[in-house]
Structure 1
Amino acid sequence: MRATLRWAHSDLRTHRGEALFLVLATAGIVASLLLATALFGYATNPWQRVFTQARGAHVWLHTAPSAPAGKLASLDGVEYVAGPYPTASAALASRGTRASVELRGTAERPAVDRPLLTSGRWLDASAPDGVVLESRLARALLAGPGDTLTLPGTGRSLTVLGVADSAEPRYRPGEQPGLVWALPSAVPDPGGQVIGLRLTDPDDTDYAVQRAVTLLGSGAVSEVSTWQQARAEAQGDNRLLGQVLGLFGIGALVAAGLAVHGAIGTRIRGHLRDISVLKAIGFTPGQVVRVFLLQHIAYALLGAAAAATLAQLLGSRIPGRLGDAIGVWQGLPGHTTALVAVPVAAVLFIGATTGLAAWRAGRVPPVPVPRPAAGPRPRTPGAAGPLSGAARWALAARVPPALVLGWHRTSTRRLRSLATITRLALPLLLIVVAMSAWTTIDRFHRSPERIGLPAALTVHADSGLADRDARALLERDPQVVAAHPGVELAALVPGQTATIALRGLGVDGDPYPYTLAEGRPARAEDEAVAGQGLLDLLDVRVGDWVRMTVGDQPQILHIVGRSIEPENAGRVISTSLDTLRENDPELAPTLYQVRLEPGADPGEVAARLTAAGQGHLDVHTVTNPADGLSPLRAVVAGLIVVLALIGLIELLTAIGGTVREGERDLLALKAVGLSPRQITAITVTATAGTALAAALIATVLGAPLARWLIDAQGASSGIGAGIATVPSPALLTLFALAAVTGAAALAALPAARAARRRLADTLSAVT
């Protein structure tokens, strides 16, 4: 044991930098995997907790007031019917902020989908104008218990009694109205009613919706929402962050394992004589294997323990969403198990790769095997074999011998060089993918029109303002380019199992500029473009005809293009307002999509339009989905650092192996007249050539892989493929040059030291 420890201590002193980088890389990998686990838990648990505690409904149906809701209780699979509750659409204002809401009348606290109070109290008959707000709506209105809300244009006011969490779809400005619970007397003119269904088998949701709509009649049902939609919306970008972290964490773990495997293999080749001596003095093959195995497992354990400790002690203090995610995750039941399992799994993987490489050390014979004699053809000093025709031509063309011999040394050791290039290319490839993710997010921020958001503002006008007057008022602002009138309707898909958004935006003379990833714009009557989420939901493609139902009126549209749709999970079909007026000539615009001049501040323009509208306009800035991905930039930067550390480990290994293998040629190179600087250039050229080949592979394969991964994620989220942006050729070229230059700089110092070694030292190293 003492000899084993002395050997490990000696090896650590010799390779302190490599050991440090391995510990840091392991810490970064484990931290990435722990953050991914935390984000997955954070994405799923809050909504699931609310849904379970509130006994949430699996289906919500918005119907006409006359719909016979009592019949739904007789359906097979329906455990409980909540409601019907009278509803009315309204707008609430507080502290200069307006929000579209759904007033829901309920005499008592519901038993199914029971709102969970977070502050204040529930409705009370002694306060007829009291309301309870859904928590996200309360945050948007900056309102809490005791505050007074106004209903613009009515002269009424409401008092906030409490704030509650709900498992239903949450408030999204311009997309989903906020939920407000009130006494039935506070909903004087209900325009509809809402019914909740709790099912015995949640997996039968689609079938239950279809039967419920058939029973009530499709004309009586205006909107359907399910628990799957609410869960997906609540998870939002947190799940995407978790997927990105998990993907890169696993990729970095594989790269680190390969780097450790290569480092041990190179070290074994460089210490064959020492290992033979160990066996000669009594070390068994198992003891030799354990020396390498325990040493690298100790490095991995140190890094994994450091990452787990920091995540536990300081993770919740990270500002922003990551800190919130870790704080919530630390309170989950499986937190302790994950905190132990993830580091242990990482250490076991590194241990497995270490064991495979260390096994070769156990096979080294106790008596050094003499080097094979040279073949009949003389070997060129500094090269691994006879010079190739290209190398001889380069020497004849007076290319510096150091460059020729350095490149030839790499090219002739094909299997070994290919393994080194592959191990180095993997972290570089992942860096290219990470750079592509950064570039895509940056494009989202700089050019929102490229991801389906050409409009910066969404404006809702009340019924007291005519369409012509509303457009004139909006286009009067000097920074408004265009105000496209439109309407958004809830439509039932064929089979009546889900609700989609049917939009009519723009008119024939002034079409709305949709962002298309496939097909062409809708020009003729009955033509439309659709999001990826809708195509997947209906299992249709561009070129197909689809039929949907709006109220009791069918609408048949020809899909001629696929648009990038970041809203409503891509379950959107869009056409012109004139096309929708073919079925309903009296259809009037209810919203306006406002495009602004480049550089205009949407917040300032929104404030001016709100003031100019004198209470008739409800103006919202369009939410950019990239805003929720802002934490991903810091994550990507951290992952690039971790991957760079792994690449650095592989480079140090390659440099050490090249220097040691060049020691036996040192005497010959000096004998033929090469100076120490030229001998140094041989090693530097060999290392730079390896880095250049790895960088070329990483850039050639990394860019299409990144595009495929990003587009696959966009398609799975409903936004659709076509959103990926890879780094520019200039940036990729700069990245490759940086990798090659860094590799050459790292190799320069150890190569120079080796070239200046005394002849006696060199002779002892090769004997």
Structure 2
Amino acid sequence: TSQDPEGRAAVTVTTFQPNAVAPPPPPPGTGGGAGPSPVSGGTSGTSTPERADPAKVRAAVESQPGLASYYGKLRAEVVVAGAPGSVQADLYEGDARDGGYELLSGHWITGKGQVVVPTRFLERTGTEVGDTVRVSYGKEHAGLKIVGESFDTSGDRLRIHADMADFPSAEPSTFLVEVRSGVSADDFARRLASVVRPLGGDATTVPPAEREGVILVMSAMAVLLTLMLVAVAGLGVLNSVVLDTRERVHDLGVCKAIGMTPRQTVSLVLASVAVIGGLGGLTGVPAGYVLHRLVMPVMTRAVGTAVPPSVLDVYGPARLLLLGLGGVVLAVLGALVPAGRAAGTRTATALRTE
């Protein structure tokens, strides 16, 4: 979610209708009326309506019951002194803390004269947090202080985040809306859409399935990989215990002959494996923890950024303890079948086995 702040918004309001197509003009002589066409550019039947007035869309948003908060956003091309080519800028209007990216250092923009940039921007321009950069939007120029370094893996292109107030001619193309608790986002969007569509705008919600689609795919892949590793480890334990019980079947027969019950036989086999599982957990969990802290920075550095604490510090003491105990559980589960077979072996058969 840190990579898609817009996806966190309950309702997205735009000042345009991406799928709207203006109707073709009436044929000459059909009484279509004179005057300028309400559409701009394009050919007959394929041009889109003019962009809605952001001020009217903003007023419509503010007038809706159930509104909790909102902020405006414009994605534009700017020129930054010291940066090669054009730079993609996300300009924000209002309190945009809900749309903030995860930060590696510094803080999110809180007003005019501030800019937040990703790690790759700092590296390519030779700047650091606290420096001032000159940004040009059209004919407007502003000196902005770098107040934060964002965690951004969206691509190789340079991107900055700044306040829209630094460029008076800029107007939001999107409003990201949060609704009050208990208010349906779908109902809110339908009511708002009925107001802004006649103006040339639109209001939509992001379906939860689509909003969380990438996260669900990544989680499913992680679960699948974990299950595969568990299955491989379980089969390894099973194979080892089967071989071990076959080698010790005569010893188990002697124990049965002097009075060992089937339950005690199962406990004996499982106890020997549990010790190995515990040692594996004590060895594997610290090794995995160290490997995680070594590999993650290398992976993020490959895409031009560093690792925020929220991504790196994910294993607390309680979670590490559970992972360590998982080694014991895995060993016991893998040994249940051969332990049961050993307990069910007849004493006479076990004593005859060499």
Please tell me the TM-score bracket, short chain as reference: 0.5 to 0.7
- In structure 1, how many angstroms separate the alpha carbons of the residues matched to 2:159 and 2:129? 14
Check conservation: 1:680, 1:752, Cα contact below 8 A: yes
- In structure 2, how many angstroms separate the alpha carbons of the residues matched to 1:523 and 1:93? 31
Equivalent of 1:534, from 114, 117, 121? Answer: 121
- What one-letter code is carried by the residue in structure 1 that aligns with 2:347? R
Give 1:649 shift.
1.9
Is 1:462 aligned to residue 56 of structure 2?
A: no
- In structure 2, how many angstroms separate the alpha carbons of the residues matched to 1:730 and 1:564? 27
TM superposition score normalised by structure 1: 0.35
Equivalent of 2:108, from 514, 518, 521? Answer: 521
1:652 aligned partner: 238
1:686 aligned partner: 272
- In structure 2, how many angstroms separate the alpha carbons of the residues matched to 1:714 and 1:661? 49
Structure 1 residues 601 and 733: alpha-carbon distance in aligned structure 2, compared to 1, 3 A threshold: farther
- Counterpart mapping for 1:233-632 below 5 A: 462-463=52-53, 466=55, 469-495=56-82, 497-507=84-94, 510=95, 512-513=97-98, 514-518=100-104, 519-523=106-110, 525-551=112-138, 553-565=140-152, 571-578=158-165, 580-581=166-167, 586-597=168-179, 602=185, 604-613=187-196, 614-619=198-203, 626-628=212-214, 630-632=216-218
The percent identity for this pair of structures is 21
Give 1:602 shift.
5.0
Structure 1 residues 620 and 729: alpha-carbon distance in aligned structure 2, compared to 1, 3 A threshold: farther
Give 1:606 shift.
3.6
Larger Rg: 1 or 2? 1
Gaps of 5+ in 2: 1-14, 26-36
- What one-letter code is carried by the residue in structure 2 that aligns with 1:562? E
- In structure 2, how many angstroms separate the alpha carbons of the residues matched to 1:639 and 1:704? 20
| CA RMSD, 1 decimal | 4.6
Q: How many residues align?
A: 319
Structure 1 residues 646 and 98: alpha-carbon distance in aligned structure 2, compared to 1, 3 A threshold: farther
- What one-letter code is carried by the residue in structure 2 that aligns with 1:649? L
- What one-letter code is carried by the residue in structure 1 that aligns with 2:92? L
Task: Give per-residue Cα distances to partners, 1:528-578, cap 9 Å, x unaligned.
Answer: 222344335435443343344434555432222123446566732223233
- In structure 2, how many angstroms separate the alpha carbons of the residues matched to 1:587 and 1:552? 9
- In structure 2, how many angstroms separate the alpha carbons of the residues matched to 1:601 and 1:531? 35
- In structure 1, how many angstroms separate the alpha carbons of the residues matched to 2:131 and 2:58? 34
Structure 1 residues 634 and 561: alpha-carbon distance in aligned structure 2, compared to 1, 3 A threshold: same
Structure 1 residues 495 and 561: alpha-carbon distance in aligned structure 2, compared to 1, 3 A threshold: closer
Check conservation: 2:151, 2:305, Cα contact below 8 A: yes
Check conservation: 1:571, 1:718, Cα contact below 8 A: no
- In structure 1, how many angstroms separate the alpha carbons of the residues matched to 2:261 and 2:222? 45
Is 1:154 aligned to residue 19 of structure 2?
A: no
Q: Which has the higher contact order (CA 8 A, sep 6+)?
A: 2
Structure 1 residues 749 and 157: alpha-carbon distance in aligned structure 2, compared to 1, 3 A threshold: closer
TM superposition score normalised by structure 2: 0.67
More helix by share: 1
SS of residue paired to 1:747: helix
- In structure 2, how many angstroms separate the alpha carbons of the residues matched to 1:564 and 1:707? 17
- Counterpart mapping for 1:181-192 below 5 A: none
- In structure 2, how many angstroms separate the alpha carbons of the residues matched to 1:93 and 1:763? 82
Give the stretch that moved more between structures: 491-500 or 660-669: 660-669
Check conservation: 2:90, 2:160, Cα contact below 8 A: yes
- Counterpart mapping for 1:121-132 below 5 A: none
Structure 1 residues 539 and 681: alpha-carbon distance in aligned structure 2, compared to 1, 3 A threshold: farther
1:346 aligned partner: none
1:396 aligned partner: none
Task: Give per-residue Cα distances to partners, 1:434-482, cap 9 Å, x unaligned.
Answer: xxxxxxxxxxxxxxxxxxxxxxxxxx9634x53xx54332122234322
Task: Give per-residue Cα distances to partners, 1:238-266, cap 9 Å, x unaligned.
Answer: xxxxxxxxxxxxxxxxxxxxxxxxxxxxx
- In structure 2, how many angstroms separate the alpha carbons of the residues matched to 1:718 and 1:669? 64
Equivalent of 1:758, from 338, 347, 351? Answer: 347
SS of residue paired to 1:694: helix
Structure 1 residues 743 and 600: alpha-carbon distance in aligned structure 2, compared to 1, 3 A threshold: farther
- What one-letter code is carried by the residue in structure 2 that aligns with 1:499? S
- What one-letter code is carried by the residue in structure 1 that aligns with 2:242? G
Task: Give per-residue Cα distances to partners, 1:138-173, cap 9 Å, x unaligned.
Answer: xxxxxxxxxxxxxx9438884578xxxxxxxxxxxx
Structure 1 residues 630 and 567: alpha-carbon distance in aligned structure 2, compared to 1, 3 A threshold: same
Check conservation: 1:532, 1:571, Cα contact below 8 A: no
